Structures are given as C-alpha cells and as structure tokens.
C-alpha cells in the first residue's frame, strides 16, 4: 500500500506490456495461422519477452528497467522514443548490438555494450559521435565535422542527455549551465556588472553560437560577428552617412559575454579610444572648453564622466545630414 512511486510505475509498465504482449501474441498466432510455416517458430520463442518501448528492446529491457539509477525507460518520453517513426534508432541503434554484453562468455566479466556512452567510459568518443552523426547529418549539421567541438572530440552526449525527458541544453533556462561546465571563463564574465541577460534567461549562448559548427568565426550563428549582433541590434548596421570604420568589428571594443565596464566595453574611455587615437588629439583645444592651451583645459572633458563619450556620442556612426562637422566626428 505504501509503495507508491517505484512499484506503481513498474505495475503500470507491467500491465501495459501484458496488454501489449497479448496483442503481439494474438497477431503472431494469426500470422502462423495464415503463413502456417516453421520459420515462425523462432519468432514465437523471441516473443516470450516483450518489448516495452522500442522495437526489439526486450533483449535489453529484460535487465535494464525502471530500477536503473538514471531511469532508462524515460527515453520513451523523448523524440527518440517514438516507436512509429522508422527513422529513429532502437536500443541497439545507439548502443550497438552488444552481443557479448548481453551474453558474456562463461566465466568472463560482462563487457560493456559496443557504445556505452557512459560518463566513465567515454574512451571512444569518435565512435560515439559517429553513431549520432550517421543519422544527424546535412542541414544544421553540415559544419559539424569541421567544427571545433568535433575537432576537440567533444561528445554529442556531453551536451545532450538522451534518456532524459528534459534535455537541458535545448532549454533556454538551463542551457548556460551545460556550456559553463566547460566554459568557466564565460561564466565569470556573464556575472559581471555589465552583461548580456544570459543568466536572466532572456538570451542564450545559442542565440550567438551554433554549437554544431558554422561558416563564421567562433561558431557564430551568422557569417560574421557583426551580422550575428545585427540580428538583435539592427540599428547598429546603419547605413550611416559616416561610419566609424572599426565599428565593423564589434569585439574591438565590446566583450559580448560581460565586463565590469558599462556597455560591455573592454576598456574604459579614454583608454578604449586611445588605443587608436593619439592622446594628443584635439591639439587646438576642445571647442566649448575654452581656447586655453594648458594641459588642464585640454584634458578637462577627457577625464570627466563619460570621457570622450561626453562629446562623441555616436561612436558607431552618424546620420545627421544637417551638420557636416558633427557628422564627421560622431557627435550627433
């Protein structure tokens, strides 16, 4: 009476498979009646064990059932658990026929299945990935074989959980924690004061990165960094009447993952700007700050508040056709 969870499930499964096996039995009897011949003798023997989820899984599920520490049968709640779709693998389709695993030679320890995929046994990652890539190719996977994750032997299964109803990496809310297990630096950055709202769940790594490979640099979703940024920051694409030339490469000034400086900036102005612009810019003094030539006057606007950005407010490009001077120097 008190055994609610585990045994409840088992009971459900058992009763379901009993109904199922009755169906199979009835069907088989019918086939034997019609086909009549001895070839079916063997099948009748095999059907003594019934499949629970997938075609032919009886040879595995007689040992692997709900009692597993990671419930094996929960694959039934995933896309791979749809029995009606013949493109999908059964147990052996992913794990290999595993004959010696099912039936070890007498006196020997049970060898692992051909493709165990287990965390402790990831010594055959290329083989493991090939099993998956055998079906998942073309389309979104066209760049997989040349991608850095593939080249560094990152297993498909370090990102994907196949037996879990909830595949963390494909859910916005839980994806970052999967990536962070290997990319610790990005975790640190994402926690900085200025950051893309990744931890807030508003944007995910896969908005910018194509984990399976891409034609662009750094696994970018689009062909370039800037094109990827433009998918959300369209206004930065322009066209501008006058463009700040380096603005094409967003990562010159921005760290996309996070920074302790506002606006994801890599350095604080004026240092950011002075990487390229001589500190001696504005030799004639800055208009509006008097015509004095003393260093104090010259540096006044530069060290205060937003520094260079006090005046040059349109760093990315300018569109004001009314004032040619302002346009030229990105002040409006």
Tell me whether residue 17 or residue 98 sits nearer to ligand HEC (CB atom): 98
The interface mask with ligand HEC, positions 79-118, x = CB under 6 A, is xx------xxx-xxxxx--x--xx-------x-xx--xxx
Contact region with ligand HEC (CB under 6 A), list: 7-15, 23-31, 32-40, 263-271: 263-271
Judged by CB under 6 A, which of 50, 273, 318, 327 binds ligand HEC?
Answer: 273
Q: DSSP readout, 263-307? A: GGBSS-TTHHHHTTS-TT--TT--TTS-S--SHHHHHHHHHSTTG
Tell me whether residue 2 or residue 45 sits nearer to ligand HEC (CB atom): 45
Does 157 participate in binding ligand HEC (rule CB under 6 A)? yes
Site for ligand HEC in 179-198 (CB under 6 A): 179, 181-183, 186, 190, 194, 196-198
The tokens describing 173, both together, are: 């809310």
Q: Are 258 and 189 in contact (CB under 8 A)?
A: yes
Q: Which residues pair with 110 in a beta bridge?
A: none
Does 208 participate in binding ligand HEC (rule CB under 6 A)? yes
Does 166 participate in binding ligand HEC (rule CB under 6 A)? no
Exposed / middle / buried, residue 326 (Cβ in 10 Å: 0-12, 13-18, 19+)? middle
Judged by CB under 6 A, which of 29, 191, 260, 281 binds ligand HEC?
Answer: 281
CB of 35 to ligand HEC, least distance (A): 28
CA angle 158, 204, 155 (to 5 degrees): 15
Does 173 participate in binding ligand HEC (rule CB under 6 A)? no
Site for ligand HEC in 30-69 (CB under 6 A): 53-54, 57, 59-64, 68-69
CA distance linking residue 178 with residue 170, whole number of Å: 10
Exposed / middle / buried, residue 174 (Cβ in 10 Å: 0-12, 13-18, 19+)? middle
- Which residue, 22, 17, 81, is CA-closest to 54? 81
- Which residue, 269, 279, 324, 274, is CA-closest to 299? 279
Does 13 participate in binding ligand HEC (rule CB under 6 A)? no
Does 18 participate in binding ligand HEC (rule CB under 6 A)? no
Site for ligand HEC in 218-247 (CB under 6 A): 218-219, 225-226, 228-229, 231-233, 236, 244-247
């Amino acid at each position: 009476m008190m055994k609610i969870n585990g045994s409840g499930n088992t009971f459900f499964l058992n009763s379901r498979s009993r109904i199922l096996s009755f169906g199979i039995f009835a069907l088989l009897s019918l086939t034997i009646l019609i086909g009549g011949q001895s070839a079916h003798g063997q099948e009748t023997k095999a059907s003594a064990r019934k499949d629970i989820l997938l075609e032919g899984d009886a040879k595995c599920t007689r040992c692997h059932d709900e009692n597993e520490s990671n419930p094996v049968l929960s694959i039934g709640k995933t896309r791979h658990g749809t029995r009606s779709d013949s493109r999908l693998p059964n147990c052996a389709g992913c794990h290999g026929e595993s004959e010696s695993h099912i039936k070890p030679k007498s006196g020997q320890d049970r060898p692992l299945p051909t493709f165990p995929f287990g965390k402790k046994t990831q010594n055959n990652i290329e083989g493991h990935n090939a099993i998956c890539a055998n079906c998942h190719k073309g389309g979104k996977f066209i760049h997989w074989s040349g991608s850095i994750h593939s080249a560094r032997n990152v297993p498909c299964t370090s990102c994907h959980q196949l037996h879990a109803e909830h595949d963390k990496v494909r859910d916005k809310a839980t994806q970052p924690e999967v990536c962070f297990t290997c990319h610790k630096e990005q975790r640190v950055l994402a926690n900085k004061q200025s950051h893309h709202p990744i931890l807030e769940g508003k944007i995910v790594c896969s908005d910018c990165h194509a984990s399976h490979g891409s034609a662009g640099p750094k696994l970018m979703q689009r062909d370039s960094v800037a094109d990827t940024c433009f998918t959300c920051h369209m206004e930065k694409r322009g066209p501008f009447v006058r463009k700040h030339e380096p603005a094409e490469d967003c990562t010159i000034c921005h760290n996309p993952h996070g920074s302790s400086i506002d606006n994801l900036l890599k350095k604080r102005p004026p240092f950011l700007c002075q990487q390229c612009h001589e500190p001696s810019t504005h030799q004639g003094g800055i208009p509006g700050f008097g015509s004095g030539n003393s260093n104090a006057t010259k540096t006044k606007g530069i060290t205060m508040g937003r520094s260079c950005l006090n005046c040059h407010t349109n760093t990315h490009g300018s569109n004001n056709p009314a004032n040619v001077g302002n346009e030229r120097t990105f002040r409006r």
